[in-house]
Amino acid sequence: MKRIVVVSNRVGLPAPNSESSGGLVTGVHAAMRGRGGLWFGWSGKVTPSPSDAPEIVQAAGIDYATIDLDQAAYNEYYLGFANGTLWPLCHFRLGLFEYERTQAEAYEAANERFARALMPLLRPDDLVWVHDYHLIPLACALRRLGCQQRIGFFLHIPLPPPRALAILPRHKELFSSLLDYDLVGLQTVEDADALRAFCRQNLGHLVMPDGTLLGPQRRTATGVFPIGIDPQAQQRIAVKSAKLSTTRRLLDSLGGRKLILGVDRLDYSKGLSYRFRAFGRLLGAHPEWRSRVTYLQIAAPSRIEIARYREARLELERQAGRINGKYAEFDWVPIRYINRGFTPKTLAGFYRVAQVGLVTPLRDGMNLVAKEYVASQNAADPGVLVLSPFAGAAAELDSAVIANPFDIDALAEALHTALTMPVEARRERWAALHAAVEHGNAERWQQSFIAALEGVSALPRAATASR
Ligand code: ADQ
């Protein structure tokens, strides 16, 4: 079996009982658990004059190799181009998109540095699997250093249509560097269609009926690989965690009221302020729910150095204050808004006892919280998932209560529907959701991507063209 080398900006270094650092780390960990391999990337540390020689630690069959970033790279590459330019662009938020040429250059330079540090660690028959928008040009940088190994790329976030991508200066240069990969994987059919359309329309490349892109140097296969979780492990943890003192304390504090639960990184793409408004609208339109339901929103701070993220946080504080001020009673607070992360164990217990899982991003590559919520339920008395159609997960989880988060009234009605749904209907919907989560699990995601990467024709473009 060939060794897998995973490359991602952030590496999920082993740290027992740590709070999650987001979906990529959750998904990659679940996928590497059985197979092992090397995981290379940024340590999460910012140091002056960091070395290009990675620090290596081993745990549970995985070698973790990391390098630090310096302050300028952190500001310009990570906060700047990756999260201030590419993140809003890919989440269809063109109004929030910002561009600085020096940041684009720092992004290229960071990718070159990652390539230089990784190259000495590679063995001839490794399969290199690069993750996410931070590292789009990594294969190009590796190829320049002579890397011949198969390299695959997986984009965890959405890809907007070509006309939106075209607002990025030098978009052709950036996205044509995807053609240095042997395989590019995306979360949904819509994302894969956007990539193929961009390559055809903006780059002028031929796209084969099977989705293969014919670039100038090589053939690049493309495919849809929806990321998943380990549903059986999630169910086991949830059953155990339901008995934890944290879960018991939560239940005691609710005093028999129903619970709506949201769990997210605090990110403007997750649509939290729309949810708060919809919950307020529910209490206004259906007074029978006052004092009978509590909404717990857990929102772990994320990228707080970026002004938009601080503004999103302030907006949520304002809204929670307004709604609580209007509807709270001396013995009931409608919205409990918690601005920190919790361990996966604690979250699993909360998922299990929540009657409604509220997952309504404005745009999301997949959204693993939706899958974790489903996998944590009690089959005999399951909760209801309220899901945005703009989460990649909606393609698989279409038995959820689907509600457009921009339509506050529709979202409030969806909450009412979920809270009043009879048990037979809940069981029926949950069975379909659970089957989908089981089917699209983390193991299948990893195995199908690696099988596709091993299976792609390694022939250079020139050789195939002349056959
Ligand atoms: P994220 O945007 O981070 O991931 P998501 O898929 O929902 O979003 O993953 C979040 C993970 O972090 C989950 O495992 C969740 O349990 C955990 N988490 C979230 N909030 C938390 C909190 N407050 N406390 C503790 N843990 C928390 C990106 C993309 C997604 C895509 C994933 C994986 O944006 O669309 O699904 O990568 O590809």
pLDDT digits (tens, 9 = 90+) for 106-162: 999 999 999 999 999 999 999 999 999 999 999 999 999 999 999 999 999 999 999
Helices (H), 334-460: 344-353, 368-375, 408-420, 423-439, 442-455
Mean pLDDT of 401-419: 98
pLDDT at residue 466 is higher than 60: no
Measured in Å, residue 347 CA sits from the centre of ligand 1 at 12
pLDDT of 196 > 50? The answer is yes
Helix or strand or coil: residue 263?
strand
CA-CA distance, 99 to 171, in Å (whole number)? 12
Mean pLDDT of the chain: 95
State yes or no: pLDDT of 461 exceeds 70.
Answer: no
pLDDT band at 240 (very low <50, low <70, confident <90, very high): very high
Compute the Cα dihedral for 456, 458, 459, 461 and give only its sign: positive
Superfamily the domain 4-228+444-458 falls into: Glycogen Phosphorylase B; (3.40.50.2000)
Contact assessment for residue 27 and residue 38, using Cβ atoms and an 8 Å cutoff: no
Residue 128: strand, helix, or coil: strand
Q: Quick one: average pLDDT of 292-303?
A: 97
Q: What are phi and psi of 99, to 5 degrees?
A: -140, 130
Please count the other Cβ atoms lying within 10 Å of the Cβ belonging to residue 242.
18
| Separation of CA 93 and ligand 1 centre (Å) | 19
| pLDDT interval class at 463 (50, 70, 90) | very low
What is the mean predicted confidence (pLDDT) over 84-99? Answer: 97
Confirm whether 4-228+444-458 and 231-438 share one CATH topology: yes
- Tell me the backbone φ, ψ of residue 154, rounded to 5 degrees: -125, 130
Question: What pLDDT shows up at residue 464?
Answer: 39
Give the ligand 1 atom nearest the CA of 156: 38
Pocket test for ligand 1, best of 20, 275, 304 (most atoms within 8 A of CB): 20
The predicted structure's pLDDT at residue 21: 59
- Evaluate whether 190 touches 160 at the Cβ level (below 8 Å): no
Quote the pLDDT of residue 35: 81
Residues 216 and 461: beta-carbon distance below 8 Å: yes
**Quick one: pLDDT at residue 288?**
98
Band the pLDDT of 18: cuts 50, 70, 90.
Answer: low
- The pLDDT tens digits for 357-403 are 999 999 999 999 999 999 999 999 999 999 999 999 999 999 999 99
Identify the pLDDT of residue 32.
Answer: 79
pTM: 0.96
Q: What is the DSSP letter of 466?
A: T
113: which 2 tokens?
């540095």
pLDDT at 413 (0 to 100): 98
| pLDDT given at position 467 | 29
Q: Residue ranges per domain, the chain? A: 4-228+444-458, 231-438
CB hemisphere CA count around 362 (13 angstroms): 18
156 is annotated as an active-site residue: yes
Å from CA of 306 to ligand 1 middle: 19
Domain 231-438 has CATH 3.40.50.2000: yes
Question: Which of 241, 366, 388, 441 to mutate for ligand 1's pocket (most ligand atoms within 8 Å of CB)?
Answer: 366
pLDDT, tens only, 261-292: 999 999 999 999 999 999 999 999 999 999 99
